[in-house]
Amino acid sequence: MGVVQGEAREECGVFGVWAPKEDVSKLTYFGLFALQHRGQEGAGIAVGDKENIVVFKDTGLVSQVFDETVLGALQGDVAIGHTRYSTAGGNSWDNVQPMFRTSPNGTDVALAHNGNLVNYAELQAEAIEKKLVPADGVQGQGSSSDTAVVSALLADLIREEHTLLDACEQLLPRIHGAFCFMITDGHTLYAARDPHGVRPLSLGRLEEGWVVASETCALDIVGAAFVREIEPGELIWIDETGVHSKRYAETTRAHCVFEYVYVARPDSVIEGQTVNNSRIEIGRRLARVNPVEGDLVMPVPESGTPAAIGYAEESGIPFKQGLMKNAYVGRTFIQPSDTLRQLGLRLKLNPVRQVIEGKKLIVVDDSIVRGNTQRKLIRMLREAGAAEVHVRIASPPVKWPCFYGIDFASPGELIANHGRGGSDEEIAESIRTMIGADSLAFVPIDDIVAASHQDAENLCAACFTGHYPLGLPEGNPNADLVRRMKKGAEA
């Protein structure tokens, strides 16, 4: 859902720039702005000037954390930035990135991470055994994130003649899961992508420098020309001699299919395919496989808009905006009163009565996770005079949690698991009853794959299928529950 943070939440965004003749802190600031959709809980920038690394970070949106004074104090040749929401570790200042460590030989290291690690428990145990982190927390004041553990282990490997590059080459093959790392020692910019390429990561060229970012939209906003995607299992480093590359692991691709459904910005390009085009194509396919009579097609903004456009184009039913979104409602520090809290969704969305009154609506949304938002939305549309509300979802039912960087609920909280049916059609009918729609249908997974223009074996669709190509993490209660569910199904 693109409406309320309580549904599906994105992972993180990372950005790095090596450009000694540029204002790297401001470039990073604008890059993080472009990646704000990937996380709204915290933001940080680390800048290196060959002698020191300075890190500034805080909870909140990018615009809340930084101002001209702060950016003016962050001067250097290389910078990395991060915009975050919590997947491993709580939402506190200690867990905001980039993380900072000093190695045994005095080298400063800053690290930012997008993703989730499968062998986090193993790495944490190693860091505790080496006394790099306290047993009751991780790093400094008690960060509990996997990023803090990786930072500690990486810095510890930089000893005597060993460099940060040596440390990366030693540690990266031992890290399992979904990750894009951005790292600097103040001299060089390093970037690494996991061997499955779960999350996107791209390289861009400035006139006199280089940029690496989670999505190509961040390259666009800073005026960097897209060069190529960082390959799965690839480590690159950038310094005054140019861009260098090394494969540190064999690859088995498993790109996250949900990037096409919801996570990535529509103007980003992944594997040569514009995300917006993929979403429009998903909408067209949704109209073909699940048509319904209606007076107008309307999206749940903003993430449902491209699929709704595709649905309208394919069905020939007019597309109209029947819901107005308040663009200025993000993370707020002002809590509404009980009376205002009951209004809930209206803080972000408000129906246009003149558009929807008396009409049969086809409401297109990107996904349905817990169903709370859709239930409130349908009630709101009916109160505004809608004659019928037919819901069309531009993804399959979300039946399984994600352990690779997207904050889906536990299996029991997912609305797709609340009914008795096992097929998508039976699940849709069960959900339809629960949320009060006149009809509800999902797009099949095969159509999502086709719209991505990738081979099915190169995609991770675990949240829809329950097949986890990277395996399940140890010591995770939800992962243990999934294992029990799978054993029960096999039995």
- CB neighbours of residue 419 within 10 Å: 17
Q: Whole-angstrom Cα distance, residue 12 to residue 44?
A: 12
Residue type, 385: G
Q: Whole-angstrom Cα distance, residue 447 to residue 280?
A: 12
Q: What is the mean pLDDT of the segment spanning 28-44?
A: 95
440 torsion bin: left (phi>0), alpha (psi -120 to 50), beta (else): beta
Q: Is 303 marked as a binding-site residue?
A: yes
Q: Which two tokens stand for residue 303?
A: 């993430």
Q: Is 366 marked as a binding-site residue?
A: yes
Fold of 276-490: Rossmann fold (3.40.50)
* Structure confidence by residue, pLDDT tens digits, 63-76: 999 999 999 999 99
Q: Is 480 marked as a binding-site residue?
A: no
Is 142 a residue whose pLDDT tops 80? no
Q: What is the mean pLDDT of the segment spanning 115-144?
A: 79
Parallel, antiparallel, or unpaired: how do β-strands 242-247 and 234-239 relate? antiparallel
**CA 124 to the chain's CA centroid:** 23
Q: Whole-angstrom Cα distance, residue 175 to residue 116?
A: 10
Residue 336 has a pLDDT of: 55
Per-residue confidence band for 406, with pLDDT thresholds at 50, 70 and 90: confident
* Structure confidence by residue, pLDDT tens digits, 291-322: 999 999 999 998 899 999 999 999 999 999 99
**Residue 12 is a catalytic residue:** yes
Q: Whole-angstrom Cα distance, residue 400 to residue 463?
A: 5
CB of 78 closer than 8 Å to CB of 43: no
DSSP labels, 239-294: ETTEEEEEE-S-----EETHIIIIIS-TT-EETTEEHHHHHHHHHHHHHHHS----
Q: Whole-angstrom Cα distance, residue 144 to residue 133?
A: 10
Residue type, 25: S
Residue 91 has a pLDDT of: 55
Residue 6 has a pLDDT of: 39
Parallel, antiparallel, or unpaired: how do β-strands 177-184 and 108-117 relate? antiparallel
Per-residue confidence band for 9, with pLDDT thresholds at 50, 70 and 90: very low
Q: What are residue 50's phi and psi, to 5 degrees?
A: 75, -20
Q: Which two tokens stand for residue 425?
A: 């059609």
CB of 450 closer than 8 Å to CB of 459: no
Q: Is 438 marked as a binding-site residue?
A: no
Residue 474 has a pLDDT of: 87
Q: What is the mean pLDDT of the segment spanning 161-175?
A: 96
- CB neighbours of residue 130 within 10 Å: 11
Is 90 a residue whose pLDDT tops 70? no
| Edge-to-edge strands, sheet with 439-442 | 296-299, 360-365, 388-393, 439-442
Per-residue confidence band for 327, with pLDDT thresholds at 50, 70 and 90: confident
Per-residue confidence band for 329, with pLDDT thresholds at 50, 70 and 90: low
Helix crossing, 275-289 with 305-315: angle to 10°? 50
Q: Is 217 marked as a binding-site residue?
A: no
Q: What is the mean pLDDT of the segment spanning 313-340?
A: 76
Residue 133 has a pLDDT of: 85
Residue 366 has a pLDDT of: 95
More confident residue, 115 or 420: 115
Helix crossing, 275-289 with 445-452: angle to 10°? 150
* Structure confidence by residue, pLDDT tens digits, 251-284: 999 999 999 999 999 999 999 999 999 999 999 9
Residue 407 has a pLDDT of: 76
Q: What are residue 4's phi and psi, to 5 degrees?
A: -125, 135
Is 372 a residue whose pLDDT tops 50? yes
Q: Is 402 marked as a binding-site residue?
A: yes
In Å, what is the CA distance from 473 to each residue of 102, 134, 178, 195, 443? 29, 22, 11, 17, 29
Q: Whole-angstrom Cα distance, residue 62 to residue 71?
A: 12
In Å, what is the CA distance from 73 to each residue of 25, 112, 184, 429? 9, 20, 18, 57
Q: Which two tokens stand for residue 270?
A: 């992944």
More confident residue, 87 or 175: 175
Q: Whole-angstrom Cα distance, residue 306 to residue 266?
A: 8
Residue 414 makes CB contacts below 8 A (sequence gap 6+) with 369, 370, 398, 399, 400, 401, 408
11: Cα within 13 Å, side-chain hemisphere: 26
Is 50 a residue whose pLDDT tops 50? yes
The structural domains of the chain, with segments of one domain joined by +, span 13-252, 276-490
Per-residue confidence band for 409, with pLDDT thresholds at 50, 70 and 90: low
Is 1 a residue whose pLDDT tops 50? no
Residue 65 has a pLDDT of: 95
Is 361 a residue whose pLDDT tops 50? yes
Q: State the maximum Cα–Cα separation within the chain, in Å, rounded to a whole number.
A: 75
More confident residue, 210 or 50: 210
Least confident of 228-232, 328-332, 465-469: 328-332
Mean pLDDT of the chain: 90
Q: Which two tokens stand for residue 366?
A: 């990107």
Residue 352 has a pLDDT of: 95
Question: Of 12, 168, 180, 217, which one is the catalytic site residue?
Answer: 12
Q: Which two tokens stand for residue 341?
A: 């809290």
Question: Hey, CA dihedral for 267, 268, 269, 270, is it positive or negative?
Answer: negative
Least confident of 331-340, 416-425, 441-450: 331-340
Per-residue confidence band for 94, with pLDDT thresholds at 50, 70 and 90: confident
> What CATH code would you report for 13-252?
3.60.20.10
